Amino acid sequence: MNIRIEPSKLSGKVLAPSAKNISHRMLICSALADGTSVIKNLLECDDTAATAGILTAMGAKITKENDDTVVQGIGKKANRQIFADCFESGSTLRFLIPVAAALGCDSIFSGRAKLPERPITPYFTELSKKGIVFETKTMPYKFSGQLKAGTYTIAGDISSQFISGLLFALPLLDGDSEIVITTPLQSKSYVDITVKALNDFGVIVEKTDKGFFVKGKQKYKSCNTFVEADMSNAAFYVVANAIGSNIEIDGLNKDSMQGDKAIIDIVEQSKGTAFDVDASQIPDIVPILAVLATFSKGVSHITNCGRLRLKECDRLAVTAQELNKLGAKITENSDSLTIEGVDSLHGGICDAYVDHRIAMSLTIASTRATEPVIINGAECVSKSYPKFFEDFKSLGGKTDVIND
């Protein structure tokens, strides 16, 4: 789907979508629990559908009752063999491989688009030492065996999702385990969110100087939960306001544990002028930060974001390339972006590169263009925010679907 946008400022009220990162975690914990859990305000998108589908394949029962998601957990009695279609979701892949291993499932994990290229090397290294046999090391990943307790050594600067995946799995094992993190942990807030989710479902993990200690033979306990708003997606509206729109954003929890709430402080502190940001803890909002910097006076620097090259696309290169097509002045460096502010963009044709955050960032950037903006492949917003263009139009955005 290609979208043509007539530039216009946005105004009105919008309800921030539910948090994708929390929705994944609530689904997993509910599925691993004994009994029935109710999740209110779960985000329904391609990524969470992938997680729900695999948990169903493991033996959980997930249904909708009005606006609630009801999950009948599997406890430790999972189906012996599973086929796991992760769609394009890196979170689903990295969260559920160790869970399947802990449950002793003979598994095939598949995916599409850029997902087969996203690294899972730490699992090949560590899980293979603890009872798991990988028949393939390219997607589809085929593995079997029963995961064993022990010490797991993981780098902290590839993806925090590996650590979260182990935190979901290790409490199910018969013995105690330790996670040793060998490099500074990036995206730390996501691990904190995982720990809180575990606590909500009765599972306790202990932080140590090196990482985490995880006691074995724990049981997930069913509970009723609520998914708060997604700060990563709310960031698009926060930046839209900073560059000239007037949107009332409902549902935000300013006390959220989500690291991406930093967007609020960045906008307030920059006040339309250039800024420098270390993005090691907030990689998901780098594309929309680049939009903010594009319309800030002076030269901004977004640093420590080389990991973005391993996302749905090379998000660092594509952010610079596609905004520059519209008239931005962004220089791509090895692990950073340097952005010289401009007054407006001239419009043009750009591509989302099958990346939801690129598509939404380009859409917000279009509000400051002087001519129409065409975004090819804009349907990828369904990965995390299926209603994005519906909400955009409700705020006065002028979009039309054009022929491919």
What are the catalytic residues? 284
Residues 6+ apart with CB under 8 A from 201: 29, 30, 32, 33, 37, 220, 221, 222, 223
Residue 209: phi, psi to the nearest 5? -65, -30
Q: What are the DSSP calls for 332-348, one per residue?
A: E-SS-EEEE--S-B--E
Grouping H, G, I as helix, E, B as strand and the rest as coil, residue 390 is: helix
- As a whole number of angstroms, the distance between CA 199 and CA 188 comes to 17
> What is the length of the chain?
404
Structure tokens at 53: 């589908």
Q: Encode 366-393: b = buried (16+ Cβ within 10 Å), e = exposed.
A: bbbbeeebbbbbbbbbbbbbbebbebbe
> Contact 32/44 with Cβ under 8 angstroms?
no
| 140: preceding bond cis by omega (within 30 degrees) | yes
Neighbours of 122 (CB within 10 A): 20
